[in-house]
């Protein structure tokens, strides 16, 4: 089994996927957005303007893939952490965590 390569410039890849409409929510992310009252607009804003939390990157053996965390503020000042991964289709939004309401 070959371990997937880690993406060096995650934020560049995120922006490419958003600009080309190659992103989608997992079922889990859809549920969490609803539970936490977070819109897709909020998620995309944080992904495009946030920072990569490299210390939170994890290799998920069950998916044979890396996950990455992007953290930032929404337009309304809410702090979010968004966990993402990439596959051949584009960017998967795995979960959305509200850190602090602005």
pLDDT one-digit tens code per residue, 65-98: 899 999 999 999 999 999 999 998 999 999 999 9
Residue 67: inside a domain: yes
* Rounded CA separation 55/42 (Å): 23
Q: Per the confidence metrics, is the pTM higher than 0.75?
A: yes
* Rounded CA separation 102/100 (Å): 6
Residue 3: inside a domain: no
Residue 12: inside a domain: no
Residue 70: inside a domain: yes
Percent of the chain exceeding pLDDT 90 equals: 78
Which residue range forms the structural domain that includes residue 67?
28-100
Residue 11, φ and ψ in degrees, nearest 5? -65, -35
Residue 58: per-residue pLDDT: 92
- The helix (run of H) or strand (run of E) holding residue 48 is helix 40-49
Tell me the β-bridge partners of 72: 80
* Rounded CA separation 30/84 (Å): 13
Q: How many domains, the chain?
A: 1
């Amino acid at each position: 089994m070959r371990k997937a390569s880690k993406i060096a410039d995650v934020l560049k890849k995120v922006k490419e996927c958003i600009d080309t409409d190659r992103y989608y929510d997992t079922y889990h992310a859809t549920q969490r957005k609803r539970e936490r009252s977070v819109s897709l607009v909020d998620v995309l804003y944080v992904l495009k303007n946030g920072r990569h939390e490299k210390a939170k990157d994890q290799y998920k053996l069950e998916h044979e893939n890396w996950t990455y965390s992007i953290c930032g503020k929404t337009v309304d000042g809410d702090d979010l952490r968004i966990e993402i991964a990439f596959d051949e289709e584009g960017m998967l939004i795995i979960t959305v965590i509200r850190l602090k309401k602005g």
